[in-house]
Amino acid sequence: MKKIAIAGAGAWGLALAGAVQRAGAQPLVWSRRAEAAALTTSGVTVTGDDARVAGHDVLLLAVPAQEIEAVSSRLARQIAPTLPLVICAKGVARRGHLLLTDVLETTLPGRPLAVLSGPTFAEEVARGLPTAVTIASRDPAVADKLAKAIGSATFRPYISTDPVGVQLGGAVKNVIAIACGIVTGRRLGENARAALMTRGLAEMVRLGRALGADPETFLGLAGLGDLSLTATSLTSRNFRFGTLLGEGLAADEARAAIAGVVEGAATAEAVVELAAAHNIEMPISAAVAAIVERGAGIAETMTELLSRPFKPETA
């Protein structure tokens, strides 16, 4: 795997291209944005030509979660039946509340699939700062080949056979990060934020069990690791978005104030619908969805959360 195509010329796609270069492989970044196409940045070629994706050894999908279906459908003719596809986005599809692997099984059936996730601020990856990620595939041989292709001293992949758990960790942690941002914006204290992170992790585990994930996955890089990064730093768009909500901005105003996609805002309702389909209760995620999607008042929503019955911690 020496020729690696990357779909998405945003900060994350370009950061991955840099990581691929440092691993000794040759990246090509594809973008459907006219302003990004046909550029070269830091020695990485960016193209808008679909045909140039053909002939690569692997395709990393680094577009936002809600664009995975459209991008994979557009590139379908260029992708060989045996080409491994790696989902590098974090979210649940709003249409049909599907995991992103389920989306690809529809648009590009039969290809080897993997998921790359973990605590990864794009700026730090781009600078070559030490980063560890999880690469998950049901086929451990696929994950192993990918890890060897893109891994380096400063970009260290760990292998998992639990793509469901890795995807859910990446999706739900963004929603919980918004909740933690709201708490920070309203100056409710570090105790409250720690409680939300911990109970948010419990929501991940409950949903993961229902979908067949390994609960231990959520204690790893794609779960606790990513949550601890995203829910505590203003570098995180999700945490920053939540902070602006907590300070009094409406959801549309907070989105406008942030450059880039806020994946947790785009995913919250889909996560809650996915949980409801499996009779799983996710009160923190539901509260975020209500605030972001339906304009629910923060004070009233918090009162509802804090008025829930006391129960055993592991229930």
Block residue for tokens 């911990």: 198
- Specify whether 173 is catalytic: yes
Asked whether 282 and 203 are in contact (CB, 8 A), the reply is yes
Direct distance between the N- and C-terminal alpha carbons of the chain, in angstroms, rounded to an integer: 45
**How are beta strands 113-117 and 131-136 bridged, if at all?**
antiparallel
Nearest to 175 by CA among 263, 258, 260, 63: 263
Asked whether 99 and 164 are in contact (CB, 8 A), the reply is yes
Cβ-count burial 24-60 (b if 16+ within 10 Å, e if not): ebebbbbbbeeebeeeeeeebebbbeeeebeebbbbb
Catalytic residue among 2, 145, 148, 173: 173
Stated length of the chain: 315
DSSP secondary structure of 31-53:
-S-TTTTTEEETTEEEE--GGGG
Asked whether 102 and 128 are in contact (CB, 8 A), the reply is no
Whole-number Cα distances in Å, 249 to 38, 256, 266, 267: 38, 10, 17, 20
Nearest to 177 by CA among 120, 231, 218, 225: 231
Nearest to 206 by CA among 159, 115, 276, 265: 276
Catalytically active residues, by annotation = 173
